[in-house]
Amino acid sequence: MIDSHCHLDDERFDEDRDEVIERALAAGVEAMMTIGTGDGPPDLEVAIRLAERYASVWATVGVHPHNAAKAAAATIPRLAALAGHPKVLAIGEIGLDYHYDFSPRDVQRGVFADQLALAREAGKPIVIHTREAWEDTLDIIERHWPAGGPGGIMHCFSGGPDEARRCLAMGFHLSFGGIVTFPKAANVREAAKITPIERLLVETDAPYLAPAPYRGKRNEPAFVVETVRRLAADRGSTAADMESATTAAFLGLMPNMR
């Protein structure tokens, strides 16, 4: 399995990060893509530091919409330089978050568009965060992200079949996390059922959104197995086949790992 989205830099892992990674490997998680947004600029290298320390950890770089207001003139050029690091797989997580509005919406939109241009120039896939901002997110992608380009991931997919179809039509992979195990997430499970297996990914978003039976606890990459099991059951597959398929889908999107 590959955990396509986790936050191993989070302070909740400071006391046992080595053990967390060891448990993931023991559970069959061969690689983890840790997200490089951290607390935002000026530190853009949080994931790279971990990827350099652990062979099984890969990185992204980017400015989260929460931190868009922290972006400065030097931020995009610095991200462009970091995108060339051999363990940086993608630009992300980037996008829009209208739930918290920690950064003004116009600033979020501008920084998002700038990072799409950066990813296009670097030839890197993108990792998208969207919350209560579907229309603006997809509109900006449609205007600034080329069809048939490096592709991307709709992280922690929380929409339903309609949003899934639109994202799939734009060439995205859809990544599902612990939400698919929640009783009230029938709409998300329906979206997962209609996603072509070659575009289906799994993630934890650790330390957030732990799946059942760990809900309410700190999430960690080893728990991705619960998401795999639920997706397999919902799609009439086996866990082993789901592991293989989602891993192949991830590797197909990330040329750096091949």
Residue type, 65: P
Q: According to the model, what pLDDT value does residue 255 have?
A: 82
pLDDT of residue 194 exceeding 80: yes
Q: What is the pTM of this model?
A: 0.96
Each domain of the chain, given as residue ranges in start order, spans 2-257
Mean pLDDT of the chain, nearest integer:
97
CATH pick for 2-257 out of 3.30.70.1340, 3.40.50.1820, 3.20.20.140, 1.25.40.10? 3.20.20.140
CA distances from 159 to 178, 179, 187, 197, 249 (A): 14, 11, 7, 18, 20
DSSP 74: T
pLDDT of residue 49 exceeding 90: yes
Tell me how long the chain is. Answer: 258
pLDDT in tens, 67-116: 999 999 999 999 999 999 999 999 999 999 999 999 999 999 999 999 99
pLDDT in tens, 138-158: 999 999 998 878 999 999 999
Mean pLDDT calculated for residue range 226-251: 98
Distance between CA atoms of 45 and 134, rounded to whole angstroms? 28
pLDDT of residue 258 exceeding 80: no
pLDDT in tens, 33-45: 999 999 999 999 9
List the alpha helices (DSSP H) in the chain.
17-26, 46-53, 75-82, 105-122, 134-144, 161-169, 186-194, 224-234, 239-253
CB 49, CB 96: distance < 8 Å: no
* Four-CA torsion 93, 97, 100, 105, nearest 10 degrees: 120
Q: According to the model, what pLDDT value does residue 149 have?
A: 84
Q: According to the model, what pLDDT value does residue 71 have?
A: 98
Tokens of 97: 């978050």
